[in-house]
A and B are shown apart, each in its own frame.
Chain A
Amino acid sequence: MLTKSRTIVITGISRGIGFQLARILCEQGHRVIGTGRTPAESLAGFVPHAIADSENKLHRINFRRTNEGCGSSTDGHGVTCDYVQCDLSDQCQTDEFVCLLNEQVEQIDMLIHNAAIGYYGPLAQQEDLDALVASNSIAPILLTRALSKLLMTSRQPKVVFISSAHSLWPTTEFSAYVASKCALEGFARSLQVEWRGKAQVQVLFPGATATSMHQSAGVPEETIASFKRVDDVAMAKRIADAVSRSASWRALYFKDGFVRYLSRIALPILCLRNVWIRA
């Protein structure tokens, strides 16, 4: 658990892992500023509370009470976080969001890239590759760059990329999604070297989680039923725990961690097999 209160920006908090992660981090006493494409009034798990800025963009919202409770309440409604409706694949909206953050906060201690979309099916049927790459690869890279000044103001800045366990092995039906997530890993690996001593860069690999993402990606119900999926609350707790640690790469499943290490050994063997081609 992060001990000191931090200012944390999380993308894609309107549902799924992002929603639960924002709730957990708010409960821990951090200031969370979340983004999502859903309008603040239509958010399912929140109660709109107040508008925090003059341009009606920054919404202060409360998490609805759930059966397991929402932690300490400061105002009788539950813990509060800030929310900005923003489609980060749209450069204009990203610029507006960055301007808003520059006005509202003095520093950002942690930036968690959680927002993503997915497509399932054969490559020929994956229609909107542009939107997928824009949301999953381009937007996190450009947002990191745009917020780098605010991040570097913090004493312990950290950027977290939520990748996917799918990126650990080839998945034919998720080919474009896997590529977009692996692009983040490659980017993070280089940024880790470049920002060494300045900021920490972390990549997390959650396994299959019980969120609406599989349905929205077009995964058939029978396939979803065959997945062994972790509850989104449990996965968000693992992520909240992982972001408080310093490991650069962290698989959130033992199984995925094992596959990751196995693939590290298997790949060079494959490479060696191919190295003896002489021109």
Chain B
Amino acid sequence: MSRRYTRALITGAGSGIGESLYRLIGEQGIEVCALDQHFASEAQLPMVQVQADINDPQLISQLKLQSTNSFDLVIHCAGTNAVGQFEGLDACTMQKVLETNLLAPMRITRDLIKTDLVTPNACHVFVASLSCFVGYPGASAYAGSKEGLWAFARCLNESLRKTGGAVLTVFPGPTDTPHAMQHSSDNSSRHRRMCPDQLAQRIWRAVQAERSVLFGRPREALFAWCAYLLPHASARLMGRWMLPVAPARNDTGPSSTTMSD
């Protein structure tokens, strides 16, 4: 039997996977609080759009002012990237990547728990990356932030197990999002990327089934599996694919969209 949810919080809901998710979840009749810096279109009720930066330490206080009802589904989609040769990347950009992808989800989760703005048996979803399984040359700070996020999700899963909570970590793989278009050095193979709506469907089904890990497609799972068991071979392969690394692109773009890798 699938679990029912009543109130959801989605970060990075302005575009990409976050946008697909918040439309899909909203259609289920769930009250959705969508969080982002920019929204392309006005949402229909029962959705609430909150324009805010997830790096703002006062974010949860802002949310508390809007409503004191607790969320039973929290989806962390917001993320950013910095691609290019490591030595050439701007220090502030790399810092922002770590703060947005790792620190902000940790801080939001802590503050939601602390202020009782999330139910003890809530489901928390973190969008990580396939770089948790294989080296990602040219985006090392991004890979680090996503690996840290996955570790945090594993720890949170352990602690929420006692209260009936669930934690899902998603490893999307190449997804056709605006952020992927912005940061990918080669968009010629765009047609091979997964559609965000399709991924959102899979995430929603995994949330209902209270799964702990989800890959974009079986091929991504197979790739991750092989990379994990054969780290040296996969590192060599990634080196051949990704190197020479493109010159540094220090534009992080909006911290709202999810990078597909």
Give chain A residues whose Cβ lies under 8 Å from the Cβ of B225. 268, 271-272
Give chain B residues whose Cβ lies under 8 Å from the Cβ of A185. 144, 147
- For residue A180, CB closer than 8 A to chain B, the reply is yes
Interface membership of chain A positions 166-198, coded 1 if the CB is closer than 8 angstroms to chain B and 0 otherwise: 010011101110111111111111111111100
Q: Are B156 and A175 in contact (CB under 8 A)?
A: yes
Give chain B residues whose Cβ lies under 8 Å from the Cβ of A273. 213
Q: Which residue of A lies closest to B225 (CB)?
A: A268
Knowing A179-B106, A186-B132, A193-B238, say if A124 contacts B113 (CB, 8 Å).
yes
Interface of B is mostly: helix
Knowing A149-B87, A175-B159, A186-B146, say if A194 contacts B221 (CB, 8 Å).
no
- For residue B119, CB closer than 8 A to chain A, the reply is no
Knowing A123-B109, A167-B151, say if A274 contacts B136 (CB, 8 Å).
no
- For residue A105, CB closer than 8 A to chain B, the reply is no
By size class, the interface of chain A is 35 or more
Q: Are B98 and A183 in contact (CB under 8 A)?
A: yes
Interface size on B, residues (CB 8 A): 68
Give chain A residues whose Cβ lies under 8 Å from the Cβ of B132. 186
Q: Are A91 and B106 in contact (CB under 8 A)?
A: no
Q: How far is the CB of A92 from chain B (nearest CB, A)?
A: 12
Q: Are A191 and B86 in contact (CB under 8 A)?
A: yes
Question: How long is the Cα–Cα vector from A276 to B222 in the complex, in angstroms?
Answer: 12
- For residue A103, CB closer than 8 A to chain B, the reply is no
Q: Are B98 and A186 in contact (CB under 8 A)?
A: no
Q: Are A190 and B148 in contact (CB under 8 A)?
A: no
Q: Are B152 and A264 in contact (CB under 8 A)?
A: no
Which one of B38-46, B202-210, B249-257 is at the A interface? B202-210
Question: How long is the Cα–Cα vector from A141 to B154 in the complex, in angstroms?
Answer: 23
Give chain A residues whose Cβ lies under 8 Å from the Cβ of B155. 170-172, 174-175, 178-179
Question: How long is the Cα–Cα vector from A19 to B198 in the complex, in angstroms?
Answer: 53
Give chain A residues whose Cβ lies under 8 Å from the Cβ of B218. 275-276
Given contacts A138-B99, A190-B137, A191-B135, 14 further A-B pairs with CB under 8 A are A91-B91, A123-B113, A126-B110, A141-B140, A141-B141, A141-B144, A175-B156, A181-B151, A186-B144, A186-B146, A277-B202, A277-B206, A279-B202, A279-B205
A/B interface sample: 12 pairs, CB < 8 A: A123-B159, A129-B103, A149-B87, A179-B102, A179-B151, A182-B151, A193-B135, A193-B243, A268-B224, A271-B225, A275-B221, A277-B206
